[in-house]
């Protein structure tokens, strides 16, 4: 394929991006002087400016000035900052304790790893009496019938698929054989368990290559209080959403909100990922921007469609190009436990360099139904029903929840990847093409030379501008190096005070993307930049 010119859809090198992030103070490996720690990253001086800009923009667009709804009126969304550590019962109710540490098994032969509930054991209704070593085949869920029969033939087993019980590996111990080798569906006390060493893994000819199922605990644990025992065990939250549900009743009772309304929260969440990968994309400590939208069950579809469109538009508004974004509907089998019964889940995906030419999740918009409120009703014993007397006749119901849940950390990565623009023609060979509104540094004030009264004029301008937006003053080294540095950190406007300035009271504004310069009166500069930031 011929590539005529660089454009926003060109793949960039992750190595280059990671190197730039370190060199220019965006993102560092956590505790690097001690050799780092897998899955954790620190935001440097410029990284935190960028992250805060994205975070504040979300907060502003959700909580301060929420979107206009389908009926033409502004939506109501209130903010929240719940504790990272909650009563552990919260996570029992949410299903995070227990349900989500999927048991995994490894195959010693092929080195493959499987989710135990995705492996299907083909248990013969009767084992061959004369052959107590008979193998029992195991296949990945969804393996075509022909393939299974092929393997039976190959291994010369006298086995008929129609006389097999297909059960997930996780349920194996519920089954057993009697002395005459008839299969019991549910194993009564005293019968023999199925011998695991007879299992033949997928892609393997001999039995007994699968390891015992291992639990992966995806929640971080800690202890509250000085004494560490079972009763003091607490968890670091794996999502911010639950705080919105546990405070739902407080907010409905006290904040004069009426369904539909939203509760928004930004904060750290922690997941003990099996394999942290791809820079800050999958890290064990990360930041979420989640909004739980409570609505009548009949309106769930409407709000789901509203939020998925609204959220995609938002990413475009902060500078992510349309061609690098896509909406992807989840298949039925990848839906989360809470979304199974709902209208579905849509991911807003970004074309990250490491998913290229594919896409990776940036935000998920999910219909969580009333799963969470039901769970918290059950576990806490507190009523969560909403009483709506704005309609005739008045009605009681448990609201359904539409949840746009965005990754702030992933958002920062997407903005960096999106902004990274190669340009061999400039000294820096690249620049960060941030949308000016989220650029870490909005403007740099630069005296062309550090004498002739230019620093005095430049400083006066700087002192004024710094009160309005993030501005840097830099008088060191020659002007070309300063332009190059600001290209690398994505400063959209460089304002240079030159030797004509004392005479004409004007400066040049140098535009990052075009390197073009425009002469602007000193007293118009601030307004000029401010106007550009709003566009």
Residues between 104 and 143 that touch RNA (CB under 7 A): 104, 106, 111-115, 118
The span from the CA of 520 to the CA of 530, in Å, is: 14
Determine how many CB atoms are found less than 10 A away from the CB of residue 20.
20
Closest approach of RNA to the CB of residue 268, in Å = 14
Contact assessment for residue 54 and residue 411, using Cβ atoms and an 8 Å cutoff: yes
Query: Does 328 engage in binding with RNA (CB under 7 A)?
Result: no
Which DSSP category does 206 fall into? S
Peptide bond before 393: cis, by omega within 30 degrees of 0?
A: yes
How far apart, in Å, do the first and last CA atoms of the chain sit?
Answer: 36
User: Given candidates 84, 155, 484, 532, which one binds RNA under the rule CB under 7 A?
Assistant: 484
User: Given candidates 279, 306, 307, 350, which one binds RNA under the rule CB under 7 A?
Assistant: 279
Q: Mark the segment that binds RNA (CB under 7 A) among 12-20, 45-53, 193-201, 294-302.
A: 12-20
Query: Does 476 engage in binding with RNA (CB under 7 A)?
Result: yes
The residue (of 274 and 317) whose beta carbon lies closer to RNA is 274
Subset of 404-433 contacting RNA (CB under 7 A): 426-429
Contact assessment for residue 157 and residue 135, using Cβ atoms and an 8 Å cutoff: yes
Closest approach of RNA to the CB of residue 392, in Å = 38
Question: Backbone phi, then psi, for 216, in 5-degree steps?
Answer: -105, 115
User: Given candidates 15, 73, 130, 298, which one binds RNA under the rule CB under 7 A?
Assistant: 15
The residue (of 249 and 284) whose beta carbon lies closer to RNA is 284
The residue (of 63 and 446) whose beta carbon lies closer to RNA is 446
What is the 3-state composition of the chain as percent helix, strand, coil, each rounded to the nearest 5? 30, 25, 40
CA 345-350-355 angle, 5° bins: 105
The span from the CA of 150 to the CA of 152, in Å, is: 5
The span from the CA of 437 to the CA of 49, in Å, is: 12
In 467-529 the beta strands, taken as DSSP E runs, fall at 471-473, 493-497, 506-511, 517-521
Question: Backbone phi, then psi, for 306, in 5-degree steps?
Answer: -60, -50
Query: Does 343 engage in binding with RNA (CB under 7 A)?
Result: no
Residue 76-95 contact track with RNA, rule CB under 7 A, x = bound: -------------------x
Query: Does 285 engage in binding with RNA (CB under 7 A)?
Result: no
The span from the CA of 261 to the CA of 277, in Å, is: 36
Query: Does 331 engage in binding with RNA (CB under 7 A)?
Result: no
Q: And the tokens for 19?
A: 């190197």
Q: Mark the segment that binds RNA (CB under 7 A) among 102-110, 156-164, 307-315, 410-418.
A: 102-110
User: Given candidates 59, 181, 354, 528, which one binds RNA under the rule CB under 7 A?
Assistant: 354
Subset of 436-475 contacting RNA (CB under 7 A): 448-451
Subset of 504-523 contacting RNA (CB under 7 A): 507-508, 510, 515-517
- The sign of the CA dihedral 18, 24, 29, 35 is positive
Burial class from Cβ neighbours inside 10 Å (0-12, 13-18, 19+) for residue 445 reads buried
The residue (of 319 and 447) whose beta carbon lies closer to RNA is 447
Q: Mark the segment that binds RNA (CB under 7 A) among 21-29, 64-72, 124-132, 173-181.
A: 21-29
Query: Does 11 engage in binding with RNA (CB under 7 A)?
Result: no
Subset of 235-254 contacting RNA (CB under 7 A): 238
The span from the CA of 408 to the CA of 318, in Å, is: 13
Instruction: Calculate the alpha carbon distances from 160 to 149, 165, 183, 290 in Å.
Output: 8, 11, 15, 51
User: Given candidates 273, 305, 316, 423, which one binds RNA under the rule CB under 7 A?
Assistant: 273
The span from the CA of 264 to the CA of 78, in Å, is: 6
Query: Does 499 engage in binding with RNA (CB under 7 A)?
Result: yes
Closest approach of RNA to the CB of residue 259, in Å = 24
The residue (of 43 and 114) whose beta carbon lies closer to RNA is 114
Q: Mark the segment that binds RNA (CB under 7 A) among 255-263, 287-295, 409-417, 496-504.
A: 496-504
Query: Does 336 engage in binding with RNA (CB under 7 A)?
Result: yes
Residue 163-192 contact track with RNA, rule CB under 7 A, x = bound: ------------------------------
User: Given candidates 84, 218, 251, 520, which one binds RNA under the rule CB under 7 A?
Assistant: 218
Q: And the tokens for 177?
A: 């054989």
Subset of 24-63 contacting RNA (CB under 7 A): 29, 35-39
Determine how many CB atoms are found less than 10 A away from the CB of residue 304.
24
């Amino acid at each position: 394929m011929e590539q005529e010119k660089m454009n926003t859809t060109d793949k960039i090198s992750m190595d280059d991006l990671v190197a730039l992030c370190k060199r220019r103070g965006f993102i560092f490996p956590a505790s690097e002087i001690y050799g780092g720690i897998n899955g954790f990253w620190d935001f440097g001086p410029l990284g935190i400016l960028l992250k805060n800009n994205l975070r504040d923009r979300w907060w502003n667009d959700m909580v301060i000035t929420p979107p206009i709804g389908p009926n033409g009126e502004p939506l109501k969304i209130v903010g929240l900052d719940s504790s990272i550590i909650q009563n552990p019962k919260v996570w029992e109710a949410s299903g995070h304790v227990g349900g989500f540490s999927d048991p995994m098994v490894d195959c010693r032969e092929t080195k493959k790893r499987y989710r135990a509930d995705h492996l299907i054991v083909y248990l013969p209704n009767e084992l061959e009496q004369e052959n107590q070593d008979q193998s029992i085949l195991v296949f990945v869920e969804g393996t075509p019938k022909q393939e299974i029969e092929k393997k039976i033939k190959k291994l010369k087993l006298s086995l008929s698929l129609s006389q097999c019980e297909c059960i997930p590996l996780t349920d194996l111990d519920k089954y057993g054989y009697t002395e005459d080798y008839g299969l019991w569906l549910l194993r009564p006390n005293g019968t023999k368990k199925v011998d695991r060493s007879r299992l033949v893994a997928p892609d393997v000819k001999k039995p007994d290559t699968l390891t015992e199922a291992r639990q992966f605990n995806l929640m971080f644990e800690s202890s509250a209080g000085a004494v560490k025992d079972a009763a003091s065990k607490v968890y670091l939250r794996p999502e911010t959403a639950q705080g919105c549900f546990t405070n739902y009743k407080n907010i409905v009772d006290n904040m004069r909100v009426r369904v539909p309304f939203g509760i928004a929260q930004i904060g750290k969440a922690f997941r003990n990922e099996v394999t942290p990968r791809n820079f800050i994309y999958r890290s064990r400590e990360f930041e979420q921007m989640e909004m739980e939208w409570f609505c009548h069950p009949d309106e769930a579809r409407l709000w789901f469609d509203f939020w998925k469109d609204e959220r995609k538009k938002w990413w475009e508004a902060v500078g992510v190009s349309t061609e690098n974004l896509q909406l992807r509907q989840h298949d039925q089998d990848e839906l989360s436990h809470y979304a199974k019964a709902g209208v579905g889940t849509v991911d807003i995906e970004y074309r990250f360099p490491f998913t290229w030419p594919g896409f990776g999740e940036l935000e998920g918009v999910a219909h969580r139904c009333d799963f969470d409120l039901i769970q918290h009703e059950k576990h806490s014993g507190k009523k969560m029903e909403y009483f709506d007397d704005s309609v005739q006749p008045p009605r009681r119901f448990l609201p359904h929840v539409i949840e746009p849940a965005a990754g702030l950390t992933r958002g920062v990565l997407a903005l960096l990847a999106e902004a990274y623009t190669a340009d061999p023609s400039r000294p820096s060979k690249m620049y960060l093409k941030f949308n000016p509104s989220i650029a870490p540094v909005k403007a740099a004030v630069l005296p062309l030379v550090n004498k002739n009264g230019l620093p005095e004029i430049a400083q006066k301008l700087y002192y004024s501008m710094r009160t309005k937006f993030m501005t840097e003053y830099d008088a060191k080294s020659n002007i070309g190096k300063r332009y190059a540095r600001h290209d690398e950190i994505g400063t959209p406007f460089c304002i240079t005070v030159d030797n004509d300035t004392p005479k004409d009271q004007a400066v040049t504004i140098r535009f990052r993307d075009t390197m073009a310069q425009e002469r602007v009166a000193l007293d118009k500069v601030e307004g000029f930049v401010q106007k550009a930031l709003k566009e």
